[in-house]
Amino acid sequence: MNPLLKLFKKFEPSKDNKLAHTAYDAFFTFAFAPNETTHGGTHIKDGMDLKRLMVHVVIGLQLCYLFGTWNIGHQHFLALGEHTGLLDAMHLKIFYGLMKLLPLFIVSNVIGLGIEFWYAAKRGHSVEEGYLVTGALIPLIMPPDLPLWILAVAIAFAVIIGKEAFGGTGMNIWNIALLTRVFIFFAYPTTISGDEVWISGIEKIDASYFGTEYGFMYGLADGLFGLLGLSTFGAGGAPVIDAYTGATPLALAYQGGWEAVTAQYSVGDMIWGTIPGSIGETSKVFVVLGMIFLMVTRVADWRIIVSLILGAATMGMILNAWGATPFMDVPWYHHFTIGSLLFAAAFMATDPVTASATGTGKWVYGFMIGMLGIIIRVMNPAYPEGWMLAILFMNMFAPLIDHYVLEANVSRRARRAAAKA
């Protein structure tokens, strides 16, 4: 027996202690590959268990995490008119981003995994691994200054009502990360929509924007950076530069179409992601790299991604031809450079639990998400983005789509058999 395996077995608690054994089992199955292999129509193949499948998604998100960390700091300093160059004060921007992103990540995983551990111990089974991806996705689809207590309440709601109430991982009908976001959007809309929420550390006081003062951790960082001869945060409290706006490209498109967007952001800014927005979705380059990784490793089904893109492009062209509002005139191909379309296609719509399972069903499912997402984005200004609602809506219809696909297959085979007879 492997010496490391022996060491793990030595510390195995009694199964009578359900919570301790649940925790042990979670770490044990994460550390060691399973002996069993799967067969048949499951989405897990060979010796890759669910944990390792989920870890691939987390790996695909890492470039989004790295860029998002830097962009939090970059957008903050842009608002203050300091260190405006992309490479200026990289240490300050990354440190500032970490101080904003880490609490979101910690709360996301502590609350979500804590609930999963409790339910696993109560039911007497192993910890279900689906939250590995959910816990990594949630921070990336949030604004950087979201109050942590709101995030905790939203996660508890999504995991308990949207997942455990249905029986746990593999039984939920909605994407849990998106359910967390939609809960915040409807319960606490001012914390996740509008121009102000996407720039971290900026408060609105008497109709003017001001940078908030830095706290204890930034003082410690300043001591270290000062010793190294690097620039420091300082006391903070600096006013935001005149005429600064935290508007995202989507908000600008609502207001004045594509001209309003390009008056403030270049296409390069939107592709590389040096714009305000949800933490992980701004850089289309890194999102696409993560998308390619998931398709190459066959973790994400390419049919859903391709069909979603085709559906979005089709509806974009239809709205371009209609042209009744400035937003409808945004070139259809630029819908891929503004907002979170590509992030939704790569990491949200491809969830194997909540998506269609049949081959034909995946094409229908993805195409409908693409069309609905663009419709909501362009024609309903109450929502800053269409993909959250489009994916959750199609999550509900995925089983129905698969049912009709299977019924069509059965009918076709029956007719074929009758013809041969």
d(CA 60, CA 77): 28
pLDDT digits (tens, 9 = 90+) for 207-236: 578 888 888 899 999 999 999 999 999 877
Are 211 and 244 a contacting pair, CB within 8 Å? Answer: no
User: pLDDT band at residue 98, thresholds of 50, 70 and 90?
Assistant: very high
Please list, residue by residue across 70-109, b when 16 or more beta carbons sit within 10 angstroms of its beta carbon and e when fewer do.
Answer: bbbbbbbbbbbebbeeeeebeebbbbbbbbbbeebbebbb
Please state, as a whole number, how many other Cβ atoms lie within 10 Å of the Cβ of residue 161: 14
Of 193-207, 216-230, 312-326, 396-410, the poorest mean pLDDT is in 193-207
* DSSP state, residue 48: -
Residue 37 falls within a domain, yes or no? no
pLDDT mean across residues, the chain: 87
Query: How confident is the model at residue 67, as a pLDDT?
Result: 97
Residue 12 or residue 260, greater confidence? 260
Residue 78 falls within a domain, yes or no? yes
Query: How confident is the model at residue 238, as a pLDDT?
Result: 78
Range among 38-47, 125-134, 175-184, 411-420 rated most confident: 175-184
Query: Which residues, including other chains, have CB under 8 Å from residue 86's CB and lie 6 or more apart?
Result: 74, 274
d(CA 172, CA 159): 9
> What would the mean pLDDT of 377-394 be, rounded to a whole number?
88
Closest residue by Cα to residue 159 from 122, 105, 115: 115
Cα distances from 50 to residues 127, 136, 188, 299, 305, in angstroms, run 11, 15, 34, 11, 21
> What would the mean pLDDT of 100-123 be, rounded to a whole number?
90
For residue 168 the two structure tokens come to 């746990």
* pTM of the predicted model as reported, rounded to 2 decimal places: 0.88
In this predicted structure, the answer to whether residue 116 has a pLDDT above a threshold of 70 is yes
Query: Which residues, including other chains, have CB under 8 Å from residue 31's CB and lie 6 or more apart?
Result: 4, 8
Q: Residue 51 belongs to what H/E stretch?
A: helix 50-60
Query: Which residues, including other chains, have CB under 8 Å from residue 322's CB and lie 6 or more apart?
Result: 328
Query: How confident is the model at residue 69, as a pLDDT?
Result: 97
Of 218-222, 238-242, 297-301, 397-401, the poorest mean pLDDT is in 238-242
Of 77-86, 241-250, 300-309, 364-373, the poorest mean pLDDT is in 241-250
User: pLDDT band at residue 36, thresholds of 50, 70 and 90?
Assistant: low
For residue 50 the two structure tokens come to 């669910």
User: pLDDT band at residue 4, thresholds of 50, 70 and 90?
Assistant: low
In this predicted structure, the answer to whether residue 272 has a pLDDT above a threshold of 90 is yes
Query: How confident is the model at residue 45, as a pLDDT?
Result: 47
- As a dihedral over the C-alpha atoms of residue 387, residue 133, residue 184, residue 388, rounded to 10 degrees, the angle is 10
Query: How confident is the model at residue 235, as a pLDDT?
Result: 79
Bridge-based pairing of strands 208-211 and 202-205 is: antiparallel
Of 52-56, 128-132, 166-170, 348-352, the poorest mean pLDDT is in 128-132
Residue 92 falls within a domain, yes or no? yes
Q: Which residue has the tokens 């049949």?
A: 358
Residue 45 or residue 253, greater confidence? 253
Closest residue by Cα to residue 92 from 103, 76, 81: 76
Are 140 and 280 a contacting pair, CB within 8 Å? Answer: yes
In this predicted structure, the answer to whether residue 254 has a pLDDT above a threshold of 50 is yes
In this predicted structure, the answer to whether residue 1 has a pLDDT above a threshold of 70 is no
Residue 307 falls within a domain, yes or no? no
Query: How confident is the model at residue 318, as a pLDDT?
Result: 97
> What would the mean pLDDT of 132-137 be, rounded to a whole number?
90
In this predicted structure, the answer to whether residue 11 has a pLDDT above a threshold of 60 is no
pLDDT digits (tens, 9 = 90+) for 360-382: 999 999 999 999 999 999 998 77
Domain containing 84 equals 48-246
Query: How confident is the model at residue 44, as a pLDDT?
Result: 47
Provide the domain count of the chain.
Answer: 1
Residue 359 falls within a domain, yes or no? no
> What would the mean pLDDT of 326-338 be, rounded to a whole number?
94
Which sign, positive or negative, has the C-alpha torsion 372, 375, 377, 380?
negative
In this predicted structure, the answer to whether residue 389 has a pLDDT above a threshold of 60 is yes
In this predicted structure, the answer to whether residue 295 has a pLDDT above a threshold of 60 is yes
Query: How confident is the model at residue 125, as a pLDDT?
Result: 67
User: pLDDT band at residue 127, thresholds of 50, 70 and 90?
Assistant: low
Query: Which residues, including other chains, have CB under 8 Å from residue 374's CB and lie 6 or more apart?
Result: 311, 312, 315, 316, 319, 335, 386
Residue 261 falls within a domain, yes or no? no
- Region for 38 from its dihedrals, namely left if φ exceeds 0, alpha if ψ lies in -120 to 50, beta otherwise: beta
Are 339 and 282 a contacting pair, CB within 8 Å? Answer: no
> What would the mean pLDDT of 310-317 be, rounded to a whole number?
97
For residue 383 the two structure tokens come to 């929502």
Residue 142 falls within a domain, yes or no? yes
Residue 208 falls within a domain, yes or no? yes
- As a dihedral over the C-alpha atoms of residue 79, residue 84, residue 86, residue 92, rounded to 10 degrees, the angle is -70
Query: How confident is the model at residue 29, as a pLDDT?
Result: 56
d(CA 388, CA 176): 11
